[in-house]
Amino acid sequence: MGRKKAVLSVNGKIRDLHSLPGHYGWFTALTSFLPGLFIVLVWIIFGSNLVDNFTLAALGDEIRSLSNFDRALYMNDIHNLAIGDAISRPLTNSLNNATNFYLRTQNNLLWIFTLSAIGVSSLLAIFSFRKISPELRSRNLVERLIIIMLVISSSIAILITIGIVSSLIVETLRFLEHVSLSEFLLGLKWSPQTALRADQVGSSGSFGAIPLFTGTLLITFIALLVAVPVGLFSAIYMTEFASPNARIFFKPLLELLAGIPTVVYGFFAALVVAPVIRNSGEVIGLEIASESALAAGLVMGIMIIPLISSLSDDVISSVPQSLRDASYGLGATKTETIVNVILPSALPGIVSAFLLAASRAIGETMIVVMAAGMAANLTANPLEAVTTVTVQILALLTGDQEFDSAKTLSAFALGLALFTITLFLNFIALKLVRKYQEQYD
Amino acid sequence: MDKTTVQELIQPTIKARNVDVYYGETHALMGIDLDIAPKTVTALIGPSGCGKSTFLRCINRMNDTIPSCRMTGKITLDGEDIYSKNIDVVQLRAKVGMVFQKANPFPKSIYDNVAYGPRIHGLAADDKDLDEIVFSSLQRSGLWNEVKDRLDKSGTALSGGQQQRLCIARTIAVNPEVILMDEPCSALDPIATAIIEELIADLKERFTIVIVTHSMQQAARLSQKTAFFHLGKILEFGDTSEIFTNPRVEKTKDYITGRYG
């Protein structure tokens, strides 16, 4: 419509318009549609709260004077009754009235919001439609609107991150009311069973996170021991030796590894690798637990091979060809060139690939649950069962839990600690990559 | 006897006979015959894409690194066929050094850049020996006075002209017989170019130099022999003074006087 008017306003001589006809169309559409959308969003997010508050205000003092908890329960019954669900108390007149009032308010507010959305939209539509003239710089205005939309989108991502981190921090602080920081960070015993009743025996709960972190580190270390050489060597082969045809064939195959769901790796570790390790241990007379850090670490290493190899592949191929030529021109062989020129130039990038792989391994859960077990042993022996931070978080939060016990809250503290570690690793990795990029710009 | 005949009596260092090069389907060089005399500067000139650089890269077999590249014919260095099976490419490239169009120092220290070649070829008996090689190479490339206080600084931090001289120092540190230069000054300003041209004039006392250039003046100033390449063939080859004052082929004349195309 806006487009048509714009074209008409100059009698079809598009050249006389400031912007392209399409921009006028977009201008009208965006200015009228976006505020309407905003109102709808406000309704979706705050609507139910608003209705509740109106209803509460209309209810008698007896309800308002109830405790927070009981009031919530009462509101819950109103909600349930409104949609015809079962309620927790005998149906009284007052409850019925309240529910009717609630439904009416909900209905009215919905109308108000719908009407205002349509109203605002059409008002703005008329307004922007009237503004259309050959002089209107709608191209620039549309540009601005698009930028605003992009800014909003990226802020949403940032805000969500901030929200998650701050909820982690808040819950961790609540956890630290139960358990001291030093006990959490330095304690050597992890046994999060707290007493549900005061008279229960033997479950005082201890929250020393050291065994979890050593378990995590042990498994990550084994994984890197597998993945670093294999990943790096395959990246070198792919970039420096493989013929284009071999590259086309092998690279997708290698990256297929990255597409396998971790739960598949998990049962592969538990059902194939772990028994093999145990049996071969028996042959040489070693006692090996059926759930061992070794099995989990090996399989996790296989999982992160594609990560290391494809990242290293990228940094190795971005070493300028001129450096290779220079080295070959001096009579260096391929291996000499790789060892003396290519790897040193690509080193920061390769190291950051290792760090990213490590933080991926630290955050991995499924494989460890299935292959390494739940026992929080403080050991450096890869043949014993260990557990990791992620596995414990999983264990703490699955099943029925009371939400404010130290046991549940400790999951948040573990989560925060884990987040800090991986954030730190990623930060260093990014720093290194940036330093590497500067070298060739 | 005049000078030309004396030079012709000397056995040429490099002899190319009937060299053809293909990149996949493209026929880049056709039947190249060229003799390059020792301790002279030979300039290869011609329009872009005529095969000068391709021919240069045949002399130290750098084209081997390009998978689609195929070559027939014969090139000999001191009478030895460099494409025969018992030639070690590594040895060949130590004898035939190369300086590239864009200065490409390694992201290592200045010292390590120069020491790279001697190290991989085991040319230095001990550290003192290596110091000596680095010193004399930098000295000969005219860089010593500018960098002697910062040998441990990165080679990539030098200016463009200094980087190119560092690359030359790196090449002569291996003590090659021939130095191939692929438009070594095309990315440099006139002052840096003048310094490098002076350096090349000095270097020809000890090395055989083959230089690809797009600058007619540079070819005229520096070289004793000039070959004019056109569409994969050598149209004219002879003494530089002869080619620039009295070209036999019309195309050469057009090219060097700037009336080409």
In a mutational test of the A interface, the residue from B87, B104, B183 whose CB has the highest number of chain A CBs within 10 Å is B104
B109 contact A CB<8A: no
pLDDT of B1 reads: 40
The second-level CATH assignment, the architecture, of A206-440 is: Orthogonal Bundle (1.10)
Domain with CATH 1.10.3720.10 in chain A: 206-440
- Identify which of A407, A415, A420 has the alpha carbon closest to the alpha carbon of residue A388: A415
* Structure confidence at residue A438 as a pLDDT band (50, 70, 90): low
What is the total count of domains within chain B? 1
Query: Which residue is closest to A339 within chain B, CA to CA?
Result: B120
Q: What is the CA radius of gyration of chain A?
A: 31
Q: How far is A329 from chain B (nearest CA, A)?
A: 6
Cβ <8 Å between A331 and B117: yes
- Distance CA(B125)–CA(A20), nearest Å, equals 75
Strand partners, B99: B181
HEC-encoded secondary structure of A90-148: CCCHHHHHHHHHHHHHHHHHHHHHHHHHHHHHHHHHHHHHHHCCCCCCHHHHHHHHHHH
Query: Which residue is closest to B107 within chain A, CA to CA?
Result: A345
When the pLDDT of each residue in chain B is averaged and rounded to a whole number, the result is 88
**Across the interface, which of A322, A331, A332 has its CB nearest the CB of B104?**
A322
User: Residue A31: in which H helix or E strand, if any?
Assistant: helix A21-58
Q: How far is B254 from chain A (nearest CA, A)?
A: 34
In a mutational test of the A interface, the residue from B68, B88, B95, B106 whose CB has the highest number of chain A CBs within 10 Å is B106
pLDDT of A125 reads: 76
Cβ <8 Å between B120 and A330: yes
Nearest 10 degrees: Cα torsion B89, B92, B97, B103:
0
C-beta neighbour count of A387 within 10 angstroms:
25
DSSP string covering A206-249, please? Answer: EE--HHHHHHHHHHHHHHHHHHHHHHHHHHHIIIIIS-HHHHHH
* Structure confidence at residue A83 as a pLDDT band (50, 70, 90): confident
- Coil, strand or helix at A175: helix
Q: Which residues of B touch A340 (CB under 8 A)?
A: 116, 120
Cα separation values, A16 from A6, A139, B102, Å: 10, 14, 50
With contact defined as beta carbons under 8 Å apart, do A372 and A293 qualify?
yes
Report, in this order, helix, strand and coil percent for chain B, each rounded to 5.
40, 25, 35
Q: Look at residue A5 and tell me whether its pLDDT is greater than 70.
A: no
pLDDT of B179 reads: 93
- Identify which of B161, B170, B190, B255 has the alpha carbon closest to the alpha carbon of residue B216: B255
Tokens of A199: 């008279």
Q: Look at residue A132 and tell me whether its pLDDT is greater than 80.
A: no
Cβ <8 Å between B67 and A243: yes
Crossing angle for the helix pair A389-397 and A343-363, to the nearest 10 degrees: 20
pLDDT of A338 reads: 92
Report, in this order, helix, strand and coil percent for chain A, each rounded to 5.
75, 0, 20
- Coil, strand or helix at A86: coil
pLDDT of A441 reads: 47
In a mutational test of the A interface, the residue from B53, B57, B87, B93 whose CB has the highest number of chain A CBs within 10 Å is B93
pLDDT of B118 reads: 92
Q: Look at residue A202 and tell me whether its pLDDT is greater than 60.
A: no
**Across the interface, which of B93, B107, B108 has its CB nearest the CB of A331?**
B93
- Mean predicted confidence (pLDDT) in A21-43: 76
Portion 47-86 of B in contact with A at CB < 8 A: 60, 62, 65, 67
For residue B157, give the DSSP letter: G
**pLDDT one-digit tens code per residue, B99-143:** 998 888 998 889 999 999 999 988 888 899 999 999 999 988 888
pLDDT of A439 reads: 60
The two beta strands, B208-212 and B225-230, are unpaired
The residue among A306 and A401 whose pLDDT is bigger is: A306
Query: Which residue is closest to A326 within chain B, CA to CA?
Result: B104
- Identify which of A357, A385, A369, A358 has the alpha carbon closest to the alpha carbon of residue A277: A385
**pLDDT one-digit tens code per residue, A288-347:** 777 788 888 899 999 999 999 988 998 898 888 889 989 998 888 889 999 989 988 888
Q: Look at residue A203 and tell me whether its pLDDT is greater than 70.
A: no
Q: Look at residue B6 and tell me whether its pLDDT is greater than 60.
A: no
DSSP string covering A392-419, please? Answer: HHHHHHSSS--TTSHHHHHHHHHHHHHH
- Identify which of B198, B171, B183, B206 has the alpha carbon closest to the alpha carbon of residue B43: B183
Q: How many residues does chain A have?
A: 441
In a mutational test of the B interface, the residue from A324, A330, A342, A439 whose CB has the highest number of chain B CBs within 10 Å is A330
The two beta strands, B233-239 and B80-81, are unpaired
Cβ <8 Å between A323 and B94: no
- Distance CA(B53)–CA(B15), nearest Å, equals 17
Query: Which residue is closest to B180 within chain A, CA to CA?
Result: A329
What lies within 8 Å, CB to CB, of A10 at 6+ separation is A16, A17, A134
The two beta strands, B225-230 and B41-45, are parallel
Q: How many residues does chain B have?
A: 261
**Across the interface, which of A322, A324, A329 has its CB nearest the CB of B60?**
A329
Tokens of B128: 């003192």
- Coil, strand or helix at B29: strand
Q: Look at residue B169 and tell me whether its pLDDT is greater than 50.
A: yes
Quote the percentage of chain A above a pLDDT of 90.
Answer: 12
- Distance CA(A151)–CA(A146), nearest Å, equals 9
Q: Look at residue B2 and tell me whether its pLDDT is greater than 50.
A: no
Q: What is the CA radius of gyration of chain B?
A: 18
CATH number of the domain residue B134 falls in: 3.40.50.300
Q: Which residues of A touch B156 (CB under 8 A)?
A: 439
- Mean predicted confidence (pLDDT) in A78-97: 72
Strand partners, B70: B22
Which ipTM score applies to this complex? 0.85
Cα separation values, B72 from A383, B17, B30, B34, B59, Å: 61, 10, 10, 15, 13
B258 contact A CB<8A: no
Q: Look at residue B210 and tell me whether its pLDDT is greater than 90.
A: yes
The two beta strands, A206-207 and A190-191, are antiparallel
C-beta neighbour count of B30 within 10 angstroms:
16
The answer to whether position B261 is within a domain reads no
Q: Could you give phi then psi for residue A176, rounded to 5 degrees?
A: -70, -15
- Identify which of A149, A195, A183 has the alpha carbon closest to the alpha carbon of residue A34: A149
pLDDT of B113 reads: 92
Cβ <8 Å between A332 and B67: no
